Amino acid sequence: MRITIAAIGTRGDVQPMIALGKGLRAAGHEVTMIAGSNFRGWVAGHGLGFFPTVDMEALMNSDKGVAWSESSDNPMKQIRAMRDLMSEYGQGMIDPVQASTAASDLLVSSFSAQPLVQTASERSGVPWVSAMLQPQQATRSGPASIMPVLPRSTSFVNRWSGTLAERIVWSIAAETTNRYRGQVGLPPHDAASWLRASRGARAVMGMSREVVPPPPDWPNATFTGFWFLDEETGPAAEPLVSFLKAGPPPVYIGFGSMSDRAPRQTLELIQDAVTRSGQRAVVAAGWGDLPTGATPEVCVVKSAPHHWLFPQVSAVVHHGGAGTTAAGLRAGRPTLIVPHMSDQPYWGRRVHELGVGVKPIPRHKLTAATLAARLRQLASDGASRERAAAMGEKIRAERGVEAAVAAIESVRGR
């Protein structure tokens, strides 16, 4: 089959989809990815075709992208920021979806591209599969709900709140989606028609059932396990190698693709917290503009492969992206999540509920004192470390990509 995967988002959205694409390619399929133009070399380097959409690094570092990243204290502000981004960059997402459809036998969509891919499928007749890295659909299950009223219970109230969350997400994408539908001669969606279309799709869930228990009210969903891309790595930067050898395992701290108006102030906050906690830390600058280098307590790196670094650290502290959460859990390391936006509060809550990490700190509440206290808790909680190690063993035994390939092939046969 000729399969197009729409992975519109930051690195954490794209990396698992590359893993899925490589699995489909190994099974004999021709795979093309739609992703941010800044990921062209990365995607092509894995032997996958490429359709570029907007530069996601530039988007996240724009004023609107920073406003989105810094909106953890105000849900309405977050929604407005997302609508502004979709309005400005939406056509740059529509064009590659439309262009790739004619050369596809099957469309696979990550969460952010779903309304556009569903429209392309409806217009062309090419079937589509929803490839989810987060449990975004409404359900009675509290553990599988993004926005539950009763997070530890099964209740119709959770499905009601989940439906409200789905409608809010639709309101963010509505203008761009209906612009596209008008361009191809389809009637506009309203919230009800979009929910019918999205819930009727075959869904392949790239997440572990150890973390997200499959809800019985998702009949079209197949849970496969996380999708990991373990890339070959050359020699790590010498300051990092020396730092790891110079003392006890450090804590990893990194906020991935989350933009920051004051990255140096954030680094100073982290350094202060590390000093207060009496620990060492590897800090990943991500897309932030920070100088790299090492002191006895803190080593700042641009980035480092999670599958290589995480087994060498004592705990992981991060923003709560689905991919980073999965990598930390697979490594069997206790976790602290500092959610900024989107699905990140969900992963923070689940890590804490499962007892494999400590209570999350929303980004707007992050201080040196709160971070230091959580770092001390991570270091002292032996039960959490044991549970995290046991969780890691279970996740490492899963074969998520293989299961996802089989589920996708079953949609149209080989």
Q: Among 148-157, 185-194, 282-291, 337-346, which is the least confidently predicted range?
A: 282-291
Long-range contacts of 379-387 (CB under 8 A, 24+ apart): 379/277, 379/279, 379/314, 379/315, 381/334, 383/355, 384/334, 384/355, 384/356, 384/357, 384/358, 385/334, 387/354, 387/355, 387/356
d(CA 125, CA 318): 41
Judge whether residue 235 has pLDDT over 60.
no
Q: What is the pLDDT of residue 85?
A: 83
| Residue 232, domain member (yes or no) | no
| Residue 259, domain member (yes or no) | yes
**What tokens does 161 get?**
């709140």
User: In which residue are the tokens 């044991």 written?
Assistant: 386
Which CATH number covers residue 269? 3.40.50.2000
Judge whether residue 414 has pLDDT over 50.
no
| Residue 127, domain member (yes or no) | yes
| Residue 233, domain member (yes or no) | no
CA distances from residue 244 to 254, 281, 310 in whole angstroms, order as listed: 16, 9, 11
Q: How confident is the model at residue 258 (pLDDT cuts 50, 70, 90)?
A: low
Under 8 Å between Cβ of 225 and 152: no
Q: What is the pLDDT of residue 60?
A: 81
Q: What is the pLDDT of residue 259?
A: 59
| Residue 162, domain member (yes or no) | yes
Residue 269 and residue 164 share a domain: no
Phi, psi of 329, deg, nearest 5 = -70, -40
Residue 243 and residue 190 share a domain: no
Compute the C-alpha angle 160/164/168, nearest 5°: 170
- Residue (of 23, 29, 110, 43) closest to 401 by Cα position: 23
pTM of the model: 0.93
Average pLDDT over residues 126-154: 94
| Residue 159, domain member (yes or no) | yes
Residue 268 and residue 214 share a domain: no
Residue 246 and residue 215 share a domain: no
Q: How confident is the model at residue 409 (pLDDT cuts 50, 70, 90)?
A: very high
Q: Among 16-30, 147-161, 294-308, which is the least confidently predicted range?
A: 294-308
**What tokens does 42 get?**
């990365």
Residue 321 and residue 205 share a domain: no
d(CA 279, CA 250): 7
Exposure letters 252-268 (e unless 16+ CB within 10 A, then b): bbbbbbbbbeebeebbe
Phi, psi of 244, deg, nearest 5 = -60, -35
Average pLDDT over residues 8-36: 94
Q: Can you tell me whether residue 391 is helix, strand or coil?
A: helix
Question: Based on the structure, what is the number of domains in the chain?
Answer: 2
Average pLDDT over residues 156-179: 94
Q: What is the pLDDT of residue 291?
A: 74
Residue 180 and residue 256 share a domain: no
Under 8 Å between Cβ of 342 and 70: no
| Residue 231, domain member (yes or no) | no
Q: Provide the terminal-to-terminal Cα distance of the chain, rounded to the nearest Å.
A: 7
Q: Can you tell me whether residue 231 is helix, strand or coil?
A: coil
Average pLDDT over residues 94-122: 94
Residues in contact with 287: Cβ distance below 8 Å, sequence separation at least 6, in sequence order: 57, 60, 61, 256, 257, 258, 259
User: In which residue are the tokens 């062209």 written?
Assistant: 40
Average pLDDT over residues 74-103: 85
Residue 271 and residue 210 share a domain: no
d(CA 317, CA 125): 44
pLDDT in tens, 200-222: 999 999 999 999 999 999 999 99
Residue 33 and residue 68 share a domain: yes
Residue 320 and residue 201 share a domain: no
Which H or E run contains 244? helix 238-245
Under 8 Å between Cβ of 215 and 140: yes
Residue 277 and residue 203 share a domain: no
Q: What is the pLDDT of residue 69?
A: 73
Under 8 Å between Cβ of 5 and 46: no
Residue 58 and residue 200 share a domain: yes
d(CA 67, CA 271): 24
User: Residue 84 belongs to what domain range?
Assistant: 2-226+398-412
d(CA 113, CA 34): 10
User: In which residue are the tokens 């509290």 written?
Assistant: 142
Compute the C-alpha angle 90/95/98, nearest 5°: 120
What count of other Cβ atoms lies within 10 Å of the Cβ of residue 125? 7
Judge whether residue 232 has pLDDT over 80.
no
Residue 194 and residue 305 share a domain: no
pLDDT in tens, 32-76: 999 999 999 999 999 999 999 988 888 888 887 777 777 667 777
